[in-house]
Structure 1
Amino acid sequence: MTSIFAVPRALIYWKREHDRLGEFGPLGDLTIRLYRFSAGLGVIALATGLWLGGLLAMPGWVWLKLGLVLLLVAHYAWTGAMVIAARKGRFAYSDKFLRIFNEVSVLGVIAVLWVVIAKPF
């Protein structure tokens, strides 16, 4: 879960390191490893959550939560695309964009937590 926040932040520092060194440095390796490790755990978490939730018998609020989680998955997949591009030495986004991109995931997690606590329907 923390990698949703950590990987975009690591991309910012990796971009700065790449600009300074002009080559692939240790932050790049760290970012790639963190992304891969967390992606695998995310797949396990999604599969386990669906299994425990009993896919067809879930109340409405759980479907909303699942939709929000899928948006977070899409966000993390986009992060993965940025990591792959950065590995090739292409940093297409500015520091400012990456910071905003990082905060979007925070809002997504807050929305998921609100749905779980409030159970709006």
Structure 2
Amino acid sequence: MSSFELLIRIADRLAVIKTGSRIADEAIHQATGRTGPVPFYTTDAEAARTLLPLGFEWITATYAAGRVYAPCRRAGRDADTLPFPHHGQWGRTLPLSMCGAAMRAWAMLAKG
């Protein structure tokens, strides 16, 4: 399985789970090549914020029907006219949706 496929699978799973978990935190930590103690990415929004690749920024989240959409984009692309200028994901909680969006951003970088 390629890095792209792994990161997308993690993001897809994060979109459907109800709550974060240490297992998900560890999978994210490994998939992004991080070392050291594993933060509580899937339950702590501040920890989830640290997941973005270098050169990316968070955009304001959207809340609707008990779910959250967390988008991110390359920094400075607010005037971009490309059809898909951001990566984002719906989730049950803000940290879960942020983790999913970050995994999608990492996946696009892995794809090249």
Under a length normalisation based on structure 2, what TM-score does the superposition of the two structures give? 0.31
Q: Which protein is richer in helix relative to its size?
A: 1
State TM-score, norm by structure 1: 0.29
**RCO higher in 1 or 2 (8 Å CA, sep ≥ 6)?**
1
Of Structure 1 and Structure 2, which has the larger fraction of its residues in strand?
Answer: 2
